[in-house]
Amino acid sequence: MKKKNVNVSDHPLVLDKVSKIRDKKTSVRDFRHLMGEISMLLGYEALASVKLKNVIIKTPLSDCKSKVVSQDIIFISILRAGLGMVDGLVELYPDAKIAHIGMYRNENTLTPVKYYFKVPKKVKNSFVLLADPMLATGGSAVEAVNMLKAKGADKIYFLCLIASKKGLDYFTSIHPDVPVFVAAVDEKLNNNGYIVPGLGDAGDRTFGTL
């Protein structure tokens, strides 16, 4: 799939791990570990555009012109499934701030219901990485970005493991300025709004609440 601002990974390690995380026989422990690993690999790509500044570092031998990250990095998970992605992202960049958006899907209307929103006071000019493993209908991700933009966030990236084509189309039509980094894109949704073939309920599989 080629779409502006959508980055579908073709990295062999990502593809291999996606195959394993889809497998219904994968244990809770391994599922959790794989989610962290895939998130780290996708996050590595997304963070390629973080801002840097020039500094002088003193090595044991001499001064050295170097570059360091010059803006706050904020990892935001959409609860609860997004929590499974944060460990991998934090391992990638431990100095990041961590924030949470609480949302669940109304099973009758498939629309998002908000119940929690806790982010740093200053999000403008920060590098915001929003994480949710599944982009199904796209409703939760769209609403989360709406909330972040209303708070002042002006550099938002969205990370997910698997997206449906319908959800991706909807998200990018509403937020064409938000780059998406995704491991795989699936063709369809079933009548319950789940991605097919997908991987099931990411939250239940992460926390063992099947």
Q: In the annotation, is 109 catalytic?
A: yes
Q: In the annotation, is 72 catalytic?
A: no
Q: Confirm if 78 and 105 have CB atoms less than 8 A apart.
A: no
CA atoms within 13 A on the CB side of 42: 36
> What distance, in Å, lies between the first and last C-alpha atoms of the chain?
32
Q: Confirm if 61 and 202 have CB atoms less than 8 A apart.
A: no
CA atoms within 13 A on the CB side of 81: 24
Q: In the annotation, is 105 catalytic?
A: yes
State how far the Cα of 52 lies from the Cα of 151, in Å rounded to an integer. 24
Structure tokens at 79: 């609860």
Q: In the annotation, is 111 catalytic?
A: no
Structure tokens at 24: 């219904």
Structure tokens at 16: 């291999």
DSSP string, 53-111: EEEEEE-SSSEEEEEEE-S-EEEEEEETTTHHHHHHHHHH-TT-EEEEEEEEE-TTT--
Residues 16, 30, 109, 209: which is the catalytic one?
109
Residues 26, 72, 105, 169: which is the catalytic one?
105
Residues 72, 87, 169, 201: which is the catalytic one?
201
What are the catalytic residues?
105, 109, 201, 204
